[in-house]
Structure 1
Amino acid sequence: MATPSSGSPAIQRLRLRTWLRKLRIAANLTQRQVAERMEWSPSKLLRIEAGEVGISVNDLRPLLALFGVRDDDTVEELLNLARGSRKMPFTEYRDIYDKDFLGFLAMESSAFVTRSFQPLVMPGLLQTEEYAMAIIRAYTPTRFSEPQRQRMLEARMLRQEALERDEAEAYFILDESVIRRQVGGPGTMKGQLRRLAELAAHPRRKIMIFPFSSGAHAASQGPFTLFEFEEEEMPPFVYLENLRGTATVSTETESFVGYLELFWGLEERAIKGEQIPRMLLQIAEHLETQPHDFRIDPPSED
């Protein structure tokens, strides 16, 4: 094993599942054969190799013996990965979020670089409590109870700890409609814009605005988020969410490169830099008395 176990539980689980799959293939065993010899249900191994569940140390030891792993250092490293990956972030919210979104939250909390485009609403990482609750209530008019909505709000605020990691980088491109739409009313939106201006001043948190006047663009069909990681074993992730709240997650290099080029294209046409905090504060100040007074112009060519 080349490196000692480190990183978040999400990173460690992915490392472990990658190694277990490689070891099974090297041992010339199918998933069904492994499940039969371990006296597991076939779904248990499938979920372990998919990273949906962790594996206990007591289960891992005989599994490694079945794969013919004898090197003490390798065994101990894999056992450490199993120990470190047991407690995945946000699993206490599995009653309100599906496995795809929980996977997204795990990636979000571990990513070294995050890039997000949002055409309609503020990204969850940037929302104030008031804005977040207004969105949660709008998205779940009858599906969830008020206590469940409060737990969603709690989870959303916990997610924002990802922005506090000094080594991480985050880039957000917001369509102009995101800062125009008065979610929760003028007071809530004013607080949200002020919060956004504070975040925009951070040197490793880049917030950009794609103005109405820049016209149509290829990302108009929906939001997307890209994650990159420091660890070589971790492929980059593309996360797409549709109007039903379900997600498509891809680790295919071609898909990631395509969306990365799309993001860069939007970045070239977006307003960015030192003018963003000033612009957001100006809109916030005019919001209650003159909500339609402010217009955004596209960036100059020079």
Structure 2
Amino acid sequence: MDADMYAEAIEYELLTQAIYKDILAREGVNTVNVQHNVSIVGRSGVEHQVDVYWEFKQAGITHRVLIECKNYASNLTLEKARNFFAVVHDIGNCVGIIVTKTGYQSGAAAFCKHYGLALKLLRKPTERDWEGRIREIHIKMTPRVPVSNETHPIVCCLCLRPASEDQEVRLKNSSEQNPNLVHASPSMRFLGKDGQPITEELRLWIPRQLNVLEREDGGPYKKSLELTDHYISANLGNGIELVQVIGVLIEYYVETLPSNEVVLNATETVSAILKDFESGEWEHVHSAK
């Protein structure tokens, strides 16, 4: 085997490993370590190289899964199937799977079916594979968004609750000197009682609170929200301190943006499929990275 063929074979084995990791994760089995290129000593004392391997325990018995990867351009022969069956038999308490790109000779398929070896096809999808399946999805999007510009800015007023009479006096005096104290800035984040941020910046948080789909273009519209255990930090004359926010009043306008169409083409995103050889059913789709 030359260097290029060897590299392609290793790449095929790693793809198989990645796909079975995905399958196990999808089925909620995240504790199994799917390994590549493992050496296992059989009951005969002979050491066997296994392309992809994982094991698990059930009812106190260790079960092993062995996968033989054949990156062949032609159908797998009976000889190769027999060789892998010998490995599975020697290791024992295991399930054997053969993965290849093209297919299996009739003798190899009959042999594997009789002895319980699973046959899989792992390859790029062909035109025939797409028959009866959706290849393209056209999505027309018409965004309706809250307006944020100089003419129609989003205004968010804060409803504050002083923690004491002393803080109330200082808050009143500070608000008279700085009327913007009760207006939220885009980079502001609400804090918890411990002074740590509990929301994202308001430029991101506010739009998520507005259901603009219910509104026609224009405005102004108003949205009030009650808050619990939300605070801001402010300097009211005695240094930075927390002030409780019990609600916000948001004033905003709505605008509908031009429509655009997005085309999702599965043939461009699917790099490989795993199929059962006997049934021909897709078992897993591997997305291109």
TM-score (norm 1): 0.21
TM-score (norm 2): 0.22
Compare the two structures and name the one with the higher helix fraction: 1
Compare the two structures and name the one with the higher strand fraction: 2
